[in-house]
Copies of this chain bind each other. A is one copy, B any other.
Amino acid sequence: MRPTIKDVAKKAGVSHTTVSMVIHNDKRITEETRQKVLRAIKEINYYPNYSARSLIQGKSNTIAFVTPFFYFSSFFEIYTMHGLEKYNLDNKNKYVIQQFTTGPDEKRRNDLLLELLYGRRADAIIGLGFVPDIKILEEYRNKNVPIVLIDAKAKYVHIVRADNYYGGYIATEYLIKKGKKNIAIISAQLSASLAPEQRLKGYSDALKANGLDFKKENLIFVEHFLFEEGRQAIREILEKKLNVDAIFSAAGDWVAMGVITEARKLGIKIPQDISIVGYDDIIVSETIIPPLTTVRQPTFDMGKKAFEIAVNAMEGKIIKETEEIFKPELVIRESA
């Protein structure tokens, strides 16, 4: 039904081998033959069958982006994905990006990873928000199929991550320099990403380095990085009468915005009464009133880098596992 390489061959009056060689720019072909073949390809609208090519080459020319999150739940994920797309687009969409959302079920994710590996369905994996079983990592390693993990840490894989310790440190230090003495931190529960832990450590080290004590009661936990949790957090802080003069939402801007919204409703002046610093710099952070001071993660660049590493590793240009660490930066607006 669709023209094949043989149809092109017939049309051009050459063998299909020759057609294949023209397509692959083999220099042994004469210019004349080349032109003849190219004309035939144009005329009958020939495009190589992708599956046949993959089968014979033993690779899929595909990169799988795997995440457990239910359909793009976070800005982190979205921006990272932007980065992937951008890198690929800049390289003429040389590879196909396949999108896999697995949900939280670990077994399901592992099955998918095995299928991608053994079914030759992807030449590289970019993972976000999880760490595969060590057994799976070993199998990928054996088969020489690269895995790039974003915001995680594991053996045998390439890592792209942000320096969360540094992010926690500079946010806290900034508040201290502004004269704040009693800074609460809102932190996520510990997860696969280690980010919460590292930010917390940055926070407490910054306190210590400036002669302030880490107070356990100033640590507020949050579970889902939600706006609503921020509103609750500030109420909790007030109820406990912690008398804080600043809040660092290491659990993201979303939570920070909840804090701001609720605080203003309660008549608290920001930043005069309480200063707020967020984390992430999501697209809406500068539109809230007052605009949010926050730690920006270079998620877009991280996505690009992840893709670049995946491509280079696939193509054999990288042999050893790499670890790219991105420095976050403080974006100063009006909330602190």
A positions within 8 Å CB-CB of B: 1-3, 45-52, 54-55, 60, 70-72, 78, 81-83, 85-86, 88-89, 93, 96-103, 112, 114-115, 117-121, 143, 227, 257-258, 261, 264, 284, 287-289
Q: Which of B60, B89, B98 contacts A103 (CB 8 A)?
A: B89
Asked if B50 and A60 make an inter-chain contact with CB atoms under 8 angstroms apart, the answer reads yes
A270 to chain B, nearest CB (A): 13
Contacts of A78 in B (CB 8 A): 72, 78
Q: Which residue of B lies closest to A49 (CB)?
A: B120
Q: Which residue of B lies closest to A2 (CB)?
A: B118
Q: Which of B93, B101, B118, B257 contacts A85 (CB 8 A)?
A: B101
Knowing A89-B101, A97-B98 are in contact, say whether A118-B47 is a contact too (CB < 8 A): yes
Q: Which of B72, B97, B103, B114 contacts A47 (CB 8 A)?
A: B114
> 6 pairs across A/B with beta carbons < 8 Å?
A2-B117, A49-B55, A71-B89, A284-B284, A284-B287, A289-B289
What CA separation (Å) do A69 and B112 show in the bound complex?
A: 29
Contacts of A49 in B (CB 8 A): 55, 119-120
What CA separation (Å) do A3 and B118 show in the bound complex?
A: 8
What CA separation (Å) do A70 and B84 show in the bound complex?
A: 11
Asked if A71 and B85 make an inter-chain contact with CB atoms under 8 angstroms apart, the answer reads yes
Contacts of A257 in B (CB 8 A): 287
Asked if A51 and B60 make an inter-chain contact with CB atoms under 8 angstroms apart, the answer reads yes
Residue picked from A81, A99, A100, A117, most chain B C-beta under 10 Å: A99
The 3 A-B pairs with the shortest beta carbon distances in the complex, nearest first, are: A71-B82, A47-B118, A51-B54
A103 to chain B, nearest CB (A): 6
A255 to chain B, nearest CB (A): 11
